[in-house]
Amino acid sequence: MWRISCLPDDLLRSMATAMAALALLATPAPASSQWLDQLRELDSNHARVTALIVDLADMSTIAALNPDMQLTPASVSKLFVAAGALEQFGPNYRFTSTFATGDGVNDGVVHGNLVFIGDGDPSLDSKRLWALVQRLKAAGITRVKGHLIVDNGLFGPFTCRIKDRCKALTRAGEAYSAPLSSAGVNFGTVKLTIYPGEQAGDTARTVLHPLGLPGYVIDNRVTTGVPGTRPALAVWREYDDGQNILHLRGELPADERHYDVYRAVTNAATQTARVVATLLSDAGIEVEGSAWARPLANRVLMPIAQIKSDRLAEQLIPMLAYSNNYMADVLTLDIASARGGESPLTLAGASKTLEKLARQAMLETYPERAGDVPAPIFDSGSGLAVGNKLSARHIVALLNHMYHQAALFPAFYGAIPVPVSSITSTLKHGNHQWLTRLSAKTGTLTEPVTVRALAGYFRMHDGGFGAFAVIINGTPQRSSIGFYDTVIAYQEDIEAILAEY
- Per residue in 347-359, pLDDT tens? 999 999 999 999 9
| C-beta separation of 183 from 117 below 8 A | yes
Residues 296 and 320 in one domain: no
Is the pLDDT at 21 greater than 60? The verdict is: no
Q: What is the pLDDT of residues 321-333, one digit of tens each?
A: 999 999 999 999 9
Q: Sign of torsion, CA 266 163 350 190?
A: positive
Residues 423 and 398 in one domain: yes
446: domain CATH number is 3.40.710.10
Any domain includes 9: no
Average pLDDT for 170-198: 97
pLDDT at 6: 35
232-240/259-264 β-pairing: unpaired
Residues 289 and 239 in one domain: no
Of 34-48, 65-79, 125-139, 271-285, the poorest mean pLDDT is in 34-48
Of 65-69, 87-91, 215-219, 424-428, the poorest mean pLDDT is in 424-428
Is the pLDDT at 28 greater than 50? The verdict is: no
Class of residue 340 by CB neighbours under 10 A (exposed 0-12, middle 13-18, buried 19+): exposed
Which residue pairs, CB below 8 angstroms and at least 24 apart, start in 218-221? 218/192, 218/245, 218/246, 218/248, 219/245, 219/246, 219/247, 219/248, 220/248, 221/247, 221/248, 221/249
pLDDT band at 362 (very low <50, low <70, confident <90, very high): very high
For residue 50, the enclosing domain spans: 30-91+314-500
Is the pLDDT at 22 greater than 90? The verdict is: no
Any domain includes 25: no
Q: What is the pLDDT of residues 386-406, one digit of tens each?
A: 999 999 999 999 999 999 999
| Boundary residue ending a domain (281, 307, 333) | 307
Residue 10, SS3 per DSSP: helix
Residues 369 and 417 in one domain: yes
Residues 218 and 354 in one domain: no
Any domain includes 14: no
Average pLDDT for 125-144: 97
| Boundary residue ending a domain (249, 264, 279) | 264
143-144/216-225 β-pairing: unpaired
pLDDT at 370: 75
Q: What is the pLDDT of residues 89-104, one digit of tens each?
A: 999 999 999 999 998 8
Is the pLDDT at 19 greater than 90? The verdict is: no
Strand partners, 441: 455
Cα(269)–Cα(287) distance, rounded to whole angstroms? 18
| Boundary residue ending a domain (284, 307, 330) | 307
Any domain includes 5: no
Any domain includes 81: yes
Number of structural domains, the chain?
3
Residues 102 and 209 in one domain: no
3-state SS of 223-243 is EEECCCCCCEEEEEEEEECCE
Average pLDDT for 174-198: 97
Task: Provide CB contacts within 8 A for 317, sequence distance 6+.
Answer: 414, 415
Is the pLDDT at 13 greater than 80? The verdict is: no
pLDDT at 33: 56
Residue 23 has phi, psi (to 5 degrees) of: -60, -40
Is the pLDDT at 16 greater than 80? The verdict is: no
Q: What is the pLDDT of residues 293-309, one digit of tens each?
A: 999 876 789 999 999 99
